[in-house]
Amino acid sequence: MHADRLARLRASLAASHLDALLVSALPNVRYLTGFSGSNGLVLVTADDAVLLTDFRYATQVKTEVAAAVRVAIEPTTLWGRLWMELKGLPKVEVIAFESAHVTHQDSARLVGEGADGAGWRWRPALNLVEILRESKDAGEIAHIREAVRIAEHALGRTLPQVRVGMTELDVAGILEHELRSAGSEGFPFETIIAAGARSALPHARATKAVISAGDLLLFDFGAVSGGYCSDITRTCVVGRAPDARQLEIHTIVREANASASAGVRAGMRGRDADALARQYIERRGYGEAFGHSLGHGIGLEIHESPRLAKSAESPVAPGAVVTIEPGIYLEGWGGVRIEDDVVLTTEGPDVLTSFDRTLIQLG
């Protein structure tokens, strides 16, 4: 698996007339090598791949790092070891670095220490590994599928415990406990629990706000399995049956979600996928209340390529796993969002999430 990823990256480097790539973004390090530690650099050349890390991970690398990757444990500085490795590669002259992930301090190393009479020519590069990550293999999809299962199990355990008078933080604590109990390795982002008018904040943080009877309650959360993320949103109502407007808005969002989940296809532009839901919501008179994009890729990161947005011109790759998350947000009233995770196979969309999409009454 990792050998294949390295081979595809090397083909990309050759096509770009690059002798090597220095990988510093940790999700990209993990994708290429299997290493999940917090400190590492990877140098990939036409016939070599070396992971540089420190003593803390000397044991961990033995079980994680792919056989196709050479490991160098460095007791002092990874950058000093990088220069040593490069000096042993006389044919390596033009080296790309991940410009989106290199700090100013580290970029100064490249033009200072890294150019110290060695003749290396550093070139900024964008998304060389991220492009490869967009199309998921069967193992990656299996991890995401398991992350979805964990998240849905945790939500199912949480909803019966929600009552009027709880705070958003109370509910977040219950959900996060259930996620851990179900096997989640962590939380891919800060759990969003938003009640009442606060549900109109697409990225609300859970607070001490108290849940009242009749409040909409929005859950946006995920699980992690094998390093891969899920991302799910459901909206409920607490303490009494939903009123007519809550049902109207929720129904529009649910139908927009269903239309996009069924219609999204590999090969279509991100903007065309976005339009599947956006045009429906616009026809129902709430276009201005859907201010964010339809969705994004998920994988080792909670937000990665591709983008399903009005401005996204690139076609979506087969094997991409994306979120479909239309929403309507009305300031002072509240908001509704329904989010599913979908694999774009060559045969069509495979919706991984199955949790009830109706407006459930809690408590």
Domains of the chain, first to last: 2-133 (3.40.350.10), 135-362 (3.90.230.10)
> Is-contact 341 232, C-beta < 8 A?
yes
Handedness of CA 136, 137, 143, 149 (dihedral sign): positive
Handedness of CA 132, 137, 143, 147 (dihedral sign): positive
pLDDT digits 0-9 by tens, 123-138: 999 999 999 999 999 9
Q: Is 261 left (phi over 0), alpha (psi -120 to 50) or beta?
A: alpha
Q: What is the pLDDT of residue 117?
A: 57
Block means of pLDDT (10 residues each) for the chain, 363 residues, are: 96 96 97 97 96 97 97 93 90 93 87 71 94 97 98 98 98 98 98 98 96 98 98 98 98 98 96 98 98 98 97 96 98 98 93 98 96
d(CA 114, CA 230): 39
Specify the pTM: 0.95
Q: What is the pLDDT of residue 106?
A: 87
Helices (H), the chain: 2-15, 26-33, 60-64, 78-87, 104-111, 128-134, 138-158, 168-181, 244-263, 270-283
Q: What is the pLDDT of residue 108?
A: 85
Q: What is the pLDDT of residue 116?
A: 59
Q: What is the pLDDT of residue 114?
A: 66
> Is-contact 255 358, C-beta < 8 A?
no
> Is-contact 21 86, C-beta < 8 A?
no
pLDDT digits 0-9 by tens, 154-201: 999 999 999 999 999 999 999 999 999 999 999 999 999 999 999 999
Burial of 65 (0-12, 13-18, 19+ CB in 10 A): buried
Compute CA distances 135 → 114, 126, 151, 267, 298, whole Å.
33, 17, 23, 12, 11
Instruction: For residue 204, give the DSSP letter.
Output: P
Burial of 346 (0-12, 13-18, 19+ CB in 10 A): exposed
**Which residues, in sequence order, are bridge partners of residue 45?**
20
